[in-house]
Structure 1
Amino acid sequence: MRLVFQQELHDVQDRLVESAELVVSAITRASEAFRTSNVSLAEQVIADDEKLDQLTVALDELAINILARQQPVARDLRIVVSALRISASLERMGDIAAHIAQLARFRFPEKVVPRELRPTFDEMAAHDIEVARQVVELLRTTDPRLADSIRAEDDRLDELHHSVFERVLGEDWDQDAAVTVDTTLASRYHERFGDHAVSIAKKVLYLATGDWVPETIDD
Structure 2
Amino acid sequence: MRTAYNEKLAALSEELAEMSQMAGEAMKKATTALLEGDLDLAEEVISSDTKIDALRSQAEEQAFGLLALQAPVAGDLRSVIAAIHSAGDLERMGDLALHVAKAARRRHPAKVLPEDVAPYFAEMGRVALDLAQDARQVILTRDVELAFTMESDDDAMDDLHRHLFTLLLSKDWPSGVAPAIDVTLLGRFYERFADHAVAVARRVVFMVTGKMPNTPEA
> Which TM bucket (shorter chain)?
over 0.9
Work out whether 1:122 is the aligned partner of 2:122: yes
Cα-to-partner distance string for 1:111-141 (whole Å, 9 max, x where unaligned): 2111111111111111111111111111111
The separation in 2 between residues aligned to 1:10 and 1:52, in whole angstroms, is 19
Segments of 4+ moved more than 4 angstroms: none
User: Residue 78 of structure 2 contacts residue 210 of structure 2 at CA under 8 Å; is this kept in 1?
Assistant: no
Cα RMSD of the aligned pairs, angstroms, is 1.3
The separation in 2 between residues aligned to 1:180 and 1:162, in whole angstroms, is 14
Aligned to 1:192: 192
Aligned to 2:10: 10
Between stretches 48-57 and 110-119, larger displacement belongs to 110-119
Alignment of 1:12-91 (within 5 A): 12-91=12-91
Structure 2: runs of 5 or more not aligned: none
Q: Tell me the SS of whatever aligns to 1:116.
A: coil
Deviation at 1:76, TM superposition (A): 0.6
The separation in 1 between residues aligned to 2:18 and 2:42, in whole angstroms, is 21
Aligned to 1:143: 143
Q: Tell me the SS of whatever aligns to 1:164.
A: helix
Q: Tell me the SS of whatever aligns to 2:138.
A: helix
The separation in 1 between residues aligned to 2:99 and 2:17, in whole angstroms, is 22
Deviation at 1:177, TM superposition (A): 2.4
User: How many residue pairs are counted as aligned between the two chains?
Assistant: 215
Aligned to 1:211: 211
Q: Which amino acid aligns with 1:131?
A: L
The separation in 2 between residues aligned to 1:146 and 1:38, in whole angstroms, is 34
The separation in 2 between residues aligned to 1:123 and 1:166, in whole angstroms, is 17
User: Residue 75 of structure 2 contacts residue 210 of structure 2 at CA under 8 Å; is this kept in 1?
Assistant: no
Q: Tell me the SS of whatever aligns to 1:101.
A: helix
Deviation at 1:60, TM superposition (A): 0.4
Percent identical pairs in the alignment equals 37
Structure 1: runs of 5 or more not aligned: none
Q: Which amino acid aligns with 2:169?
A: L
Q: Which amino acid aligns with 1:96?
A: L
Aligned to 2:152: 152
Deviation at 1:17, TM superposition (A): 1.1
Q: Which amino acid aligns with 1:203?
A: R
Deviation at 1:214, TM superposition (A): 5.2
User: Residue 20 of structure 2 contacts residue 136 of structure 2 at CA under 8 Å; is this kept in 1?
Assistant: yes
Q: Tell me the SS of whatever aligns to 1:178.
A: helix
Work out whether 1:112 is the aligned partner of 2:100: no
The separation in 2 between residues aligned to 1:142 and 1:133, in whole angstroms, is 14
